Amino acid sequence: MTGPPLASSFLQSQSFRDVLYIIAFSLFIQGLRGLAGPTTAVRGNRIAAVGMAIAVIATLLNPLEGNWGLIVLGIALGTAVG
């Protein structure tokens, strides 16, 4: 058998990434809605952060996207600043 294992090819498929992006933007929108009031702001911020993390993971699953060095540098700088 040649080629990548089934799990690896599924995780890198465009359909799987599309589902992750849909989940990510849904969580991000729900998080923004949670920022409307002071009692729900912390929860809304966490929901939006999870959505953004899923979007980053979906982007990193694409084997042909971008320069890995710049991606890691951006994540490191964002973590240090934020």
Contact 24, 3 (CB under 8 A): no
Structural domain tally of the chain?
1
Q: Return the structure tokens found at 73.
A: 């540098």
Give the whole-number percent of the chain exceeding pLDDT 90: 51
pLDDT digits (tens, 9 = 90+) for 48-74: 999 999 998 888 887 766 677 887 888
Flag whether 3 is in a domain: no
Flag whether 18 is in a domain: yes
Q: Report pLDDT for 2.
A: 56
Flag whether 76 is in a domain: yes
Q: What is the CA radius of gyration of the chain?
A: 16
Flag whether 1 is in a domain: no
- Calculate mean pLDDT across residues 3-10: 63
pLDDT digits (tens, 9 = 90+) for 11-23: 778 888 899 999 9
